[in-house]
Structures are given as C-alpha cells and as structure tokens.
C-alpha cells in the first residue's frame, strides 16, 4: 500500500539531475518499453495474419483495434482504481498480467481466440498508461515534468519499435509465434524491473472509490477551456500515427517495392527517433511554452504524410520519420499539458486523454481499411492528412488559450501562461 506520511522528505518533488529522478525514469522507461511492445507487436504481423487466418487487411487490423478500443474504455476507471488501491500496485499487476496474455497469444490456433486474448490485453494494459501519467504529474517538480514525461514516452517509442522489430524480423525466420512469444518474455522482465525500481508515491493519499465523485471529476475536466481540445489532440495524434503504421507494411510488401517481412520490420526502427523527439520537444515546450510548440508537431506530421505519397522508397521512409518525430513530440507536449491543467482530477483527466488517444487508434486504425481497399495508399494518406490537418487547426487555436488562475510563478516554476 502507498499511504504516505506528510514528512518534510515526502513533500519534496522529484527533479531532474537527481538520483531519484534517474531511478523513477528508469522504472517508467522499462514500463513504457513493455507497454508499447506488448500492444503493438502485432502491427507488422498483419500481412502474416492475412495469410495464416484468411482475413483481409481490415480484418487483420482488428488484432490491434480491439485491444486499443477496450484499453480506451477501461482507462476511464483505471485511474479511479489506482486512487483506491495505489499507483504502483495497479501498474505492476497491469504489466505482469499483460505479458502473460501476450505469451498465451503465441500459442493460439484460430483467429477468434487470438482476438479474445487481444481484447483481454486491452483490459489488463489499461492499468499502466493513465496511472503512469498521473504518477508523474503528482511526483515530478513542475520544471521537470516535461522532461520526465518525455523520457517515459521515449520508453514507449523504444517499446513500440522493439515489439514491432522483434516480431516482424522473427516472423521471416522462425515464424510470427516465436516473435510474439519473445515480446511477451521481454514484457515479463520489464515488469519485474519496474516493480523493483519505481519509488513509492509521496504525494498521494488513498481515496475510496465513489461513482459520484468519479463522475464529478470527469465532468469537471470538460468545464476547463483547454482540456477537451487536448483530448481531441490525443485522438487525432494516435489515430493518424497508427493508421500509417497499420497499412504501410501492405504497401511495401507489394510491387513495385516487394520488400521482405524482415526489411519492413526494420523500417519500424525509425521509432528510435521518438526517443529523441519526445524528450527534446517536451523539454522545449517546458521552456518556450506548450502553446508555442505543439502546432509544429502537427505541421511536421503533415509534411511526412505528403512525402509518403511519392514513389521513391527513400522519400517514403523519410515521410515515416517525419510522422514519427512529430507524433512523439506532440504526444509528449499534449500529455504533460493535461497533467498541468487538471488540478485535483489528474487521474481522471489523464484517463480521459488516453481514452480519446486510444479510441483514435481503434477507430481510425480499423476504419481506414475501407480507404485502403478502395483507393490504396493514396486513400490512406488522404484520410491521415485530414486527421493531422484537424489537429494542426486545434493546436493553432490552443495558442490563444488563457492561463490557469493562480499565484504568480516563482523561481524555477513554469510561467502560468505556459500551463
């Protein structure tokens, strides 16, 4: 249990440059690797699922969409459960249970069982992302939360890359089942590292679970002038990003490129750019102001979408790099901004942001299969371009967002205009 005493030591927030900051980010970095690896390891395998189980591209995309859809809904209550049980407890159980489900997925022999396991994975995984955001917003000093959130998201980037890379490359040599099993084993190790390394909460008190209080806090998030727009940004960011990665494999495996599954899997290594962009853009936004930086992430993604519509393979890969850089930077900025504006309802605001975030993945990632079937990659690019353009317009609107009321900023705290 994580009931904290109000000691002078417990009143200190985690700041960058300290051993406690490094320990916290090591644990959450491991959690990010596991979460995104377990979630997205099926993405490069969708063409393999089409061959093995006889499903089309839109059907294969359900292996990810059912997970993110359930994940989105379950996260609406995951934060409240962590209020009643404890942040670290919920996150640890989430990681370990999810890893076991992915290991079981490697053994299935029919499509419907695979979808059932992937659905359950959405439920178990929900205990980490929203709670991790809440933990950081509670425990990090205001001048360190942007960097802390960026480093956590960089773990997500490595996990997303690693899960796709391991599963995609192993599928070419020893089969997709071995790849999925390897990702599950890595998740178990990361879960144990997280359990041993994450410091207990020091700015959190257990709160009984009450539906009425939960509803009031969710409603309060929508009364804020900025939070609903940030929720929309989460939907558009991940919806656009996942759609590109869901269908790019089909394009590159087909003529005129005819790449192998292993080479397509290696293309997912551009995820490494997210380990830099999330931390760099998050820190830059903390210095210059989130309102001034968020729109640049969407502008970069839009340029990347246009590049993927060209024919040369090098330009397509460059477009994927631009989309990846912009996505991770934009997510780092928007997610830390939610925590800063949420007040006492941090868990609920984080849950709502991630609900919108993963619903974007589920709805856009699956729905775009219709565009791919009817218009090929140009249909996908038009769909994604519309999502990114909407995000750019909202980000431009957020430039005029009024600051939260409160006392003047002091010393190394961020100016209120940047909250």
Domain CATH for 114: 1.20.1250.20
Share of the chain above pLDDT 90, in %: 33
Domain contains 415: no
Domain contains 86: yes
pLDDT at 416: 27
* CA–CA separation, 29 and 132 (whole Å): 11
Domain contains 24: yes
Per the model's pLDDT, the better-predicted residue between 280 and 70 turns out to be 70
* pLDDT over 70 (residue 282): yes
Minimum mean pLDDT among 7-16, 80-89, 127-136, 257-266: which range?
7-16
Mean pLDDT over residues 53-63, rounded? 87
Domain contains 318: yes
CA dihedral 300, 303, 308, 314 (to 10 degrees): -80
pLDDT band at 112 (very low <50, low <70, confident <90, very high): very high
> What burial class does residue 411 get, using C-beta atoms within 10 Å of its C-beta: 0-12 exposed, 13-18 middle, 19+ buried?
exposed
Mean pLDDT over residues 1-23, rounded? 61
Domain count, the chain: 1
Mean pLDDT over residues 200-211, rounded? 70
The residues that bridge with 14 in the sheet, in sequence order, are 140
Per the model's pLDDT, the better-predicted residue between 142 and 121 turns out to be 121
Domain contains 44: yes
* pLDDT over 50 (residue 362): yes
pLDDT tens per residue, range 237-269: 999 998 998 888 889 988 899 888 778 877 777
What's the helix, strand, coil split of the chain in %, to 5?
80, 0, 20
Mean pLDDT over residues 78-91, rounded? 81
Q: Are 37 and 162 in contact (CB under 8 A)?
A: yes
What's the mean pLDDT when you consider all of the chain? 82
61 φ, ψ (degrees, to nearest 5): -65, -20
pLDDT at 9: 43
Ramachandran class of 207: left when φ > 0, alpha when ψ lies in -120 to 50, beta otherwise = beta
Give per-residue burial for 298-335: e unless 16+ CB within 10 Å, then b: bbbbbebbebbeeeeeeebbbbbbbbbbbbbbbbbbbb
pLDDT tens per residue, range 383-396: 999 999 999 999 99
pLDDT at 285: 80
Domain contains 176: yes
* Residue 256 belongs to domain spanning: 19-197+223-403
Domain contains 215: no
Tell which residue, 83, 346, 78, 92, has the closest CA to residue 198: 92
Ramachandran class of 17: left when φ > 0, alpha when ψ lies in -120 to 50, beta otherwise = left
Domain contains 43: yes
pLDDT at 275: 73
Minimum mean pLDDT among 11-25, 134-148, 207-221, 271-285: which range?
207-221
Q: How far is CA 102 from CA 194, 219, 237, 252, in A?
A: 18, 35, 26, 27
């Amino acid at each position: 249990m994580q009931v904290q005493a109000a000691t002078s030591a417990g009143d200190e927030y985690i700041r960058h440059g300290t051993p406690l900051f490094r320990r916290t980010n090591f644990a959450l970095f491991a959690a990010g690797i596991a979460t995104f690896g377990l979630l997205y390891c099926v993405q490069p395998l969708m063409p393999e699922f089409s061959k093995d189980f006889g499903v089309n591209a839109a059907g294969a995309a359900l292996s990810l969409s059912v997970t993110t859809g359930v994940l989105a809904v379950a996260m609406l209550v995951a934060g409240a459960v962590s209020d009643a049980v404890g942040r670290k407890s919920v996150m640890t159980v989430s990681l370990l249970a999810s890893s076991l489900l992915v290991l079981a997925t490697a053994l299935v022999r029919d499509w419907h069982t695979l979808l059932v396991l992937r659905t359950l994975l959405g439920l178990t995984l929900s205990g980490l992302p929203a709670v991790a955001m809440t933990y950081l917003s509670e425990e990090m000093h205001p001048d360190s939360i942007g960097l802390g959130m960026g480093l956590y998201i960089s773990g997500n980037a490595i996990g997303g890359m690693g899960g796709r890379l391991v599963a995609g490359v192993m599928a070419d040599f020893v089969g997709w089942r071995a790849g999925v099993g390897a990702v599950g084993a890595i998740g178990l190790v990361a879960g144990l590292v997280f359990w041993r390394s994450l410091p207990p909460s020091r700015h959190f008190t257990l709160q009984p679970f009450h539906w009425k209080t939960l509803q009031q806090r969710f409603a309060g998030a929508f009364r804020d002038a900025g939070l609903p727009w940030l929720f929309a940004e989460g939907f558009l960011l991940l919806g656009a990003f996942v759609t590109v990665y869901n269908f790019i494999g089909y394009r590159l495996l087909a003529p005129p490129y005819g790449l192998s599954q292993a080479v397509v899997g290696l293309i997912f290594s551009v995820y490494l750019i997210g380990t830099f962009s999330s931390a760099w853009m998050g820190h830059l936004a903390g210095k210059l102001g989130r309102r001034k930086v968020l729109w640049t992430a969407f502008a970069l993604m839009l340029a990347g979408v246009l590049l993927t519509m060209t024919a040369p393979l090098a330009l397509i890969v460059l477009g994927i790099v631009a989309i990846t850089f912009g996505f991770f930077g934009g997510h780092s900025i928007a997610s830390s901004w939610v925590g800063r504006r949420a007040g006492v309802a941090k868990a609920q605001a984080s849950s709502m942001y991630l609900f919108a975030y993963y619903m974007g993945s589920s709805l856009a990632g699956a729905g775009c299969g219709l565009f791919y079937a009817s218009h090929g990659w140009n249909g996908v690019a038009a769909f994604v371009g519309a999502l990114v353009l909407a995000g750019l317009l909202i980000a431009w609107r957020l430039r005029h967002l009024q600051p939260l009321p409160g006392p003047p900023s002091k010393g190394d705290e961020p100016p209120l205009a940047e909250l």
